[in-house]
């Protein structure tokens, strides 16, 4: 499927979105793709990026690594140089091949936590907080709530037992040693419908905080288990993958007190979202359901591609056409304190840091809307960077030896 193109004669900027739009992530990824295509159409109606139309190709990989690799190979033959898989297992599987080919991999909010190391992952651009960064920031927030002392506190990590769910565990283990809190993991199996065994163990553990690494539509199942076990909602902080549909399916009032890590401003009041509504949806030109515009997942896709399109704009402006992966990389390095006019945490991309700084915010659901509890922040950056360097060094060594 292609985003609408203007009638310009200039060559297009091509993006390959190999996404899971039919299986595990079907509750979220369609909104992400809708946002990307909407923003591409909005920019195309204004002349594209530096005069070049944006062409977005969306292909389903069903969260299967081999299908993701097949998608990559097909779109590579069609001249695509910028790819995005929005899946941790698929991104991990495709990354070595993309690096070997020298193409650009966008890896926002999924994939390897060490991919922010630009000195090793030269063609991988995260440009958003990793799961490692989100994990560290959640612990930092909880420490402040505990008046600066986590010693003796009990922290539970409840997660879907997949690579995505397991990704932040090394950070939690390192922080446990540093801050001397008690930490236990509570995985629940795919497909995630049965979490009762995990909650039976959590009830015995009696944690002060439960961190949730899960995904729509599993979140309402978790919340109902919390209710059933008499656990207050304000004891939980989730990773960013929660949206208003999840809360509706559980009950807006019942979810009051729940907190989340977030990477983007919610709602439809931001000027960029308003422009999309007025210029596309009011004219019957939107790429999906109007009611999803302003949803947390929609806004996440919009924020991520605001950064990506800005990097391409800088590449064309400073490096000239035609684009190459190296020119795109240089364009990404021009991104400095970019926040899409207050739509997301400001990011700065450098040759050493492809993550953008790792800032997140903690929001709390007040029964009707998300209310910010913090400003944008990043903490334990030294600890996270130590883990990044150790893991990226292992990757570099394995790549050099062909293992």
Domain closes at, from 215, 232, 262: 262
Residues 124 and 271 both lie in one domain: yes
Question: Which among 400, 53, 32, 101 is positioned nearest to 240, based on CA atoms?
Answer: 32
One domain, residues 99 and 137: no
The strand pairing partners of 21, in sequence order, are none
pLDDT given at position 29: 94
332, 389: one domain: yes
358-381: burial string, b at 16+ Cβ within 10 Å, e else: bbbbbbbbeeeebeeeeebebbbb
Residues 160 and 204 in one domain: yes
Mean pLDDT, the chain, whole residue set: 95
User: Which CATH number covers residue 272?
Assistant: 3.40.50.2300
The residue among 242, 262, 282 that closes a domain is 262
> So what's the pLDDT on residue 98?
98
Task: Tell me, yes or no, whether 252 and 278 share the same domain.
Answer: no
Residue 365 lies in a domain: no
Spatial contact of 26 and 20, defined as CB atoms under 8 Å apart: yes
Q: Based on the fold, state whether residues 257 and 299 are members of the same structural domain.
A: no
pLDDT score recorded for residue 403: 60
pLDDT at 6: 41
Is there a single domain that holds both residue 191 and residue 155?
yes
Per-residue confidence (pLDDT) for residue 2, from 0 to 100: 40
pLDDT of residue 5: 40
Q: Write out the two tokens for 37.
A: 């295509």
Question: How many domains does one find in the chain?
Answer: 2
Residues 106 and 160 in one domain: no
| Statement to judge: residues 247 and 279 lie in one domain | no
Q: Which domain holds residue 106?
A: 13-129+267-359+385-401
Same domain, 141 and 215: yes
Residue 370 maps to a domain: no
Contact call for residues 49 and 313 (beta carbons, < 8 A) = yes
Q: Is residue 110 part of a domain?
A: yes
CA neighbours closer than 13 Å in the CB half-sphere of residue 150:
23
Q: Counting Cβ atoms within 10 Å, is residue 25 exposed (0-12), middle (13-18) or buried (19+)?
A: buried
**Residue 400: predicted pLDDT:** 86
Q: What is the pLDDT of residue 216?
A: 87
Query: What are the backbone angles phi and psi of residue 289, rounded to the nearest 5°?
Result: -75, 125
Q: 190 in a domain, yes or no?
A: yes
Task: Assess if residue 3 is contained within a domain.
Answer: no
Question: In the chain, which stretches have pLDDT less than 70?
Answer: 1-9, 403
Confidence at residue 7, expressed as pLDDT on a 0 to 100 scale? 37
Residue 367 lies in a domain: no
Point out the domain boundary residue: 212, 242, 262: 262
Q: Which residues, including other chains, have CB under 8 Å from residue 192's CB and lie 6 or more apart?
A: 160, 214, 215, 218, 221
Residue pLDDT, tens place only, 270-318? 999 999 999 999 999 999 999 999 999 999 999 999 999 999 999 999 9
Cα 370 to Cα 258, 259, 367, distances in angstroms: 9, 9, 8
pLDDT attached to residue 9:
67
**Residues 188, 250: one domain?**
yes
Domain check: are 123 and 148 in the same one?
no
76 domain-assigned: yes
């Amino acid at each position: 499927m292609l985003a609408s193109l203007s009638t310009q004669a200039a060559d297009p900027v091509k993006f390959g979105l190999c996404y899971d739009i039919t299986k595990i992530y079907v509750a979220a990824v369609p909104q992400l793709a809708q946002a990307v295509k909407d923003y591409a159409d909005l920019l195309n109606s204004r002349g594209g990026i530096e005069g070049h139309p944006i062409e977005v190709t969306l292909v389903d990989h069903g969260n299967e690594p081999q299908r993701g690799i097949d998608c990559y190979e097909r779109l590579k033959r069609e001249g695509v140089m910028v790819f995005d898989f929005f899946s941790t297992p698929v991104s991990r599987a495709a990354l070595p091949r993309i690096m070997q080919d020298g193409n650009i991999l966008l890896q926002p909010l999924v994939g390897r936590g060490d991919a922010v190391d630009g000195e090793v992952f030269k063609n991988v651009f995260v440009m958003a907080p990793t799961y490692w960064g989100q994990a560290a920031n959640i612990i930092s927030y909880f420490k402040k709530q505990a008046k600066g002392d986590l010693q003796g506190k009990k922290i539970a990590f409840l997660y879907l037992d997949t690579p995505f769910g397991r990704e932040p565990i090394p950070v939690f283990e390192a922080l446990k040693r540093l801050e001397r809190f008690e930490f236990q993991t509570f995985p629940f199996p795919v497909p995630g419908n049965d979490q009762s065994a995990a909650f039976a163990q959590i009830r015995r553990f009696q944690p002060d905080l439960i961190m949730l690494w899960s995904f729509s539509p599993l979140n309402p199942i978790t919340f109902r288990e919390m209710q059933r076990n008499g656990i207050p909602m304000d004891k939980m902080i989730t990773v960013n993958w929660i949206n208003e549909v999840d809360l509706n399916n559980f009950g807006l009032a019942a979810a009051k007190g729940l907190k989340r890590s977030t990477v983007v401003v919610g709602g439809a009041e931001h000027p960029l979202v308003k422009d999309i509504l007025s210029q596309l949806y009011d004219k019957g030109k939107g790429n999906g359901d109007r009611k999803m515009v302003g949803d947390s997942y929609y806004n996440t896709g919009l924020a991520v591609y605001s950064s990506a399109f800005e990097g391409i704009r800088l590449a064309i402006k400073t490096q000239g056409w035609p684009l190459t992966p190296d020119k795109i990389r240089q364009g990404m390095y021009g991104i400095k304190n970019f926040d899409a006019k207050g739509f997301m945490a400001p990011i700065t991309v450098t040759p050493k840091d492809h993550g953008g700084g790792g800032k997140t915010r903690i929001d709390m659901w007040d029964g009707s809307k998300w209310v910010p509890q913090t400003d944008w922040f990043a903490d334990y950056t030294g600890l996270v960077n130590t883990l990044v360097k150790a893991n990226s060094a292992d990757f570099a060594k394995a790549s050099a030896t062909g293992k």
